[in-house]
Amino acid sequence: MIIKKNFIPLDEFINKALYNPKNGFYMKKNPFGKNGDYITSPNISILFSEMVSVWIVAFWYYLKCPKKINVVELGSGNGQMIHDMINSLKNFPKFFKSCKFYIHEKSPFLIKIQKKKLQKFNIKWIKNFKGLKKEQNIFIANEFFDALPIKQFFKIKNKWKERVVETKKNEKKFHYINCNIKKIEKKVGFKLSKNQNIIEYSPLCYEYLKDISKNLTNNKGGLLIIDYGYLEKSMQNTLMSIKNHNLIDIFKKFGDSDITFKLNFKILEKMINKLNLKSQGITTQRNFLMALGIEKRAEIISRNLPFSKKADIYYRLKRLIGKNEMGDLFKVMFVTNNKIKFKVGFNLD
């Protein structure tokens, strides 16, 4: 496909906005938390990371307690999740003795924040997964895939066109160019365009899944995905930009706002199947956390606290599992090789 001089493919535009070494959004600031641009589940309540830790130990027991296992966090943000997970996992000495911790993070700026926060822990930062291939790995991807650049295609007058960004005289706007959708479909191995009028597809997401599949096909690990997404078969235009916890025009704060999208978990599942892996289940964050006992845990830790602190715990719990909050907006998916049958956390559906 030929892209004209003033046109930039959408995924390239997003990559520059987020990951340009000099002024990319994730390369120069900490966007997480109340004073940032958005907040993630681990920063709302420690209960979230505790439940993921319980799930990891349950999976380790299912694997018959291997003496060597790795926990690999994809995109660690400000390091809060793995910080709380390690403190929780210390309560399971046999597992903790068997486990090594890794972080895969693209942003040198965020790595500095993570290393400062996690300096008391034995963690290794990795650029790729090559050194992990011979071992059993549990990959944890909380709001990782939605931060990857995407391509968009629209069916206009029965013809597929790719959405690109036109940059002219310091102005940016969307433009649509003819494309051969079959070339895209050849890369992913199935007909993305079937019964669709819009396609959102992240080439980098697919590359990550391919790399992880090489590890999981012959090993007994897995990939836990927790992300903003939906389950409808029809893909939607979900591209958005977020600044100070509000949606803004995607072109207004280039490099100073997050650009993200919602994962279509049904399409993700098709990609995974094509890579000879399988989904153990897809559920909501609400169902996943409730199945692991988050309400009981909240009850235990709040039992002897004063009312104000107890109210704060339950307010945060509501944000995590409330149906009109993150509880239903976020989905959870567990990916393994075809030999594994592990449904913990997915048995409330």
Q: What is the pLDDT of residues 52-61, one digit of tens each?
A: 999 999 999 9
pLDDT of residue 37: 58
Could you tell me the domains of the chain? 19-146+199-336 (3.40.50.12710)
Q: Which of 36-50, 96-110, 236-250 has the highest mean pLDDT?
A: 96-110
DSSP 8-class letter at 130? G
Taking the C-alpha atoms of residue 84 and residue 49, their distance in angstroms, rounded to an integer, is: 6
Whole-prediction pTM: 0.94
Query: Is 232's pLDDT higher than 90?
Result: yes
* 225 torsion bin: left (phi>0), alpha (psi -120 to 50), beta (else): beta
Place of tokens 């993921």: 52
- 249 exposure class (CB count in 10 Å sphere: 0-12, 13-18, 19+): exposed
pLDDT, position 168: 80
Residue 3 has pLDDT above 60, yes or no: no
* Per-residue pLDDT at 348: 54
Q: What does the pLDDT read at residue 219?
A: 85
* Residue 176 pLDDT: 93
**Chain-centre distance for alpha carbon 271:** 16
DSSP label of 127 = S
Asked if pLDDT for residue 171 goes beyond 80, the answer is yes
More confident residue, 290 or 34: 290
Q: Residue 2: which pLDDT band, with cuts at 50, 70 and 90?
A: very low
